[in-house]
A and B are shown apart, each in its own frame.
Chain A
């Protein structure tokens, strides 16, 4: 065994040992998290991994994502080359692609050469981007970023150096098949003495950079190179539409107050973050100048995990409410609207909202600490089962002038779950009345629960008051079961999603439909006829409610209905559909003051006004309030009106 080989073995063993130790330390921490079964439906998971990780489906959605796509694939392919490289170092004479038959060897050499140059170009572009139009967060220009980019670039340069020297020395028979290396070689004095040594030097540079890269990886944000692929494997099989239940038993902890109370997946997520910043770009809180940046929340979870790693028992850095990096500020936790935009764009499927709600749960359930406005909400919900604390007897007031059947299994097909806003808010009662009219016109058999209806508990769940939500959900489900409710129409997307997705965790088998979908279906089936010349609403722009759109994928139904009811398709705001921008009311924000930055609803109204609409169409009572208020703020309420989809349809019904 030659001295070089021995030297290489020592270097390699040391490097690998260090890498293994680093991985053990880092991933050992992940295992401290709470259990979470992410090993079911393996087949589906493999497919997700192929599609999203190897296919880079979400990465390429952004213009610069192509660069990453190239780098990713170059990296994947060069992984093969580099494995060969290391093995070759151990056994130069027995392991080498050059021992393959010509055809195979030449092909591989060609591919590696091209991939290397693509990687080099991608890296250079990335560096240039960081100097010209940097991504909108500071760490993009951090030392870490440049170290990694530098290492990758160095690796490629060494690779070409090594190959070029060998080609020039005539030692590589695949020379012509490596166009780039060959081109570099053409600049070298062919056959000159010392080329062999130069090749060895490049070889060693390449080896050292490669191993340094490997050892540095677990300490860098580029750890995602190792974690993001498995994270796509472990990704939630369904869209994340809800939060897991909690078990209310003495001795349990409620919510997440220290990092290890997250599930292991929650911790693994934090390792997988590529710090791409897309989530923050999409976030309405970040957009309006608040402290919340979903990327930083994930980052802080990771930093907290790592910083507290050695200090067992005594956690020096609190997960919530500490100073600086690694701790999430309380305000930040409350600023989220749970709009889901972050989760929609995250290329590696990090689940921000459940993490934020976990921390809210800790604050509400364990610490009983929350913004003071919420006290009123919580008390109202618990005592009167509606957010405003209005007497339950008022729930039937909207129907004072019309005849409404009580829901009775067998007699009425659908339960019309009016919802708190639909029943109690004077503005939204118009929507409720419109719906009643539509149902009757279409000959739907429906009834309500009248004053027995209770709040679905959406806001409580998103705000982390799981204990009271749990009680309300169980009470509702019990009532549905007792009354024989099977099919439910809701007018509020929050009720819709809660009854449909959250109550399923309680074993409730309900067929829940939102009015936008139902109306669309009624029109399609010809059960609902609309006027041929509908009342003129001018230009209509449609706003996607997060809990209708992103959470439940209902984008087309409302748009089709508008088209039928007004004669033309609605205008689209700049951010629409899955990229839509929250009105600011979700996640219980409807019951809180926005103390930092500017108002989200105003930002959204400004965006709508750019389209110079005459009507803003919404499909959610909270959006209604938010647009109403925002338009008044912008002094545009004289020119632009807000209507619920149901109101637009009711207006277009023939008399």
Chain B
């Protein structure tokens, strides 16, 4: 050491926020800083107190948005470069072998990928089969089994279907107590199975039911749950990488459940491709009895009301809206919209022009003085896109505009636009949807 020319002090740099990158994730950086060096401003961004900051870089690592950096002034950078040069001259010590976190050890006993089979009184939800597709990939990557969880009354047939879609095993809980979905009975059964068999990954469809169930299960098991995922994969350490949109779809986040098991996700329907069905595939059914009696379940389903029986159509609550404007020309023509709506499971709405003309009732009007809607899909058919209309529907996830005037302002907000005569385009869409449905039924059956 004595022969070193000059002892250069390693510059510390400054921890600082990169403007515009923080997404106000909820003060992760502040929570991580052991030195109380961070306070949050009213925009939810960190302010770093350089007096207290030790440049430990913990906040850098935790920040999901890579919004914090250590900054060196040009002089400091020069010294650093100098140091790097000196260091390069010396032999580099062997990199430390990465130590495994002791917390991970006890998670090893968890094995297998599980998919929850969602159904309504025995009628399966397609997302369950979609999840078997991605589940198979995950199971392969982890080299484990893919299992289906079937809970209900008289639902054994679902096991066979699960095998056809790729599961190799099905855990079946069949009892009258599970006739209707109720959170309490289902989550207890589900937790019972998980605690008994210890799967490492549990996938549930991100439907209303699925999110209700998964939230209860994960809390009960004190494990992580990632909501509404659109991408799943396994990283090199064997963790499940879960990708999901947040902030109203403005950002994507990759989320990990590192230290608890199972790793649970709810997965958005329609996103994962449906695996091809192979009716010859077979698997093992494991029957389980869960100690639950009807008397123990306090919630009772008193009545089921089919949507068709509802007294009024609530456009504000619909997921798919087919909206027609003045271009529809008369009340009679709304029939073609209704046909498409029936095909897609949506409802028909309209612009004010249609209400004024007396073609549609005021309850169906979308816009500033009508309903504000945020469906997943909004069809604007023969609607020009006046601002008074736009504000009522522009937060829709996907907007499809059909208009013969290509200058119409509606195209400015549209995800997809078709320039054409609605009286030709709409029936063509309906026909094509029917055609594909038929093809698919043919393939599956």
Contacts and interface: CB of A to CB of B under 8 A. Distances in A.
A–B interface present (Cβ within 8 A): yes
B326 interface: yes
Interface string B339-372: 0000000000000010011000010000011001
Contacts of A376: 368, 372
Secondary structure at chain A's binding surface: helix, strand, loop or mixed? helix
B388 interface: yes
A526 B378 CA distance: 52
Interface string A569-608: 0000000000000000000000111000001000000000
B263 to A, nearest CB: 36
B386 interface: yes
A390 interface: yes
A14 interface: no
Contacts of A424: 387
A591 B370 CA distance: 10
A247 interface: no
Interface core residue of A426, A591, A629, A633 (most chain B CB under 10 Å): A426
Contacts of B385: 426
Interface string B315-357: 0000000000010000000000000000000000000010011
B391 A373 contact: no
Interface in A599-655: 599, 625, 628-629, 632-633
A372 to B, nearest CB: 9
Given A426-B409, A593-B362, A633-B356, A373 B369 contact: yes
Nearest to A388: B391
Given A389-B391, A390-B391, A633-B356, A591 B368 contact: yes
Contacts of A592: 369
Interface core residue of B357, B368, B390, B409 (most chain A CB under 10 Å): B368
Contact of A427 (B357, B369, B372, B386): B386
Interface string B99-120: 0000000000000000000000
A246 interface: no
Interface string A385-425: 00111100000000000000000000000000000000011
Contact of B387 (A388, A593, A632, A633): A388
Nearest to B387: A425
B182 to A, nearest CB: 35
Contacts of A632: 326, 353
Contacts of A425: 387
Given A426-B409, A633-B356, A625 B388 contact: yes
A426 B387 contact: yes
A592 B370 CA distance: 9
A45 to B, nearest CB: 43
Contacts of B362: 593
Contacts of A388: 368, 387-388, 390-391
Interface string A273-302: 000000000000000000000000000000
A337 to B, nearest CB: 15
Contacts of A377: 368
Contacts of B386: 427, 625, 628-629
Given A632-B326, A633-B356, A591 B369 contact: yes
Contacts of B388: 388, 625
A426 B412 CA distance: 10
Given A427-B387, A632-B326, 8 more contacts: A426-B412, A427-B409, A591-B368, A593-B362, A593-B369, A629-B386, A632-B353, A633-B356
Q: Which 4 A-B pairs have the closest CB atoms?
A: A388-B391, A373-B369, A425-B387, A426-B409
5 contacts: A376-B368, A376-B372, A388-B391, A426-B412, A593-B369
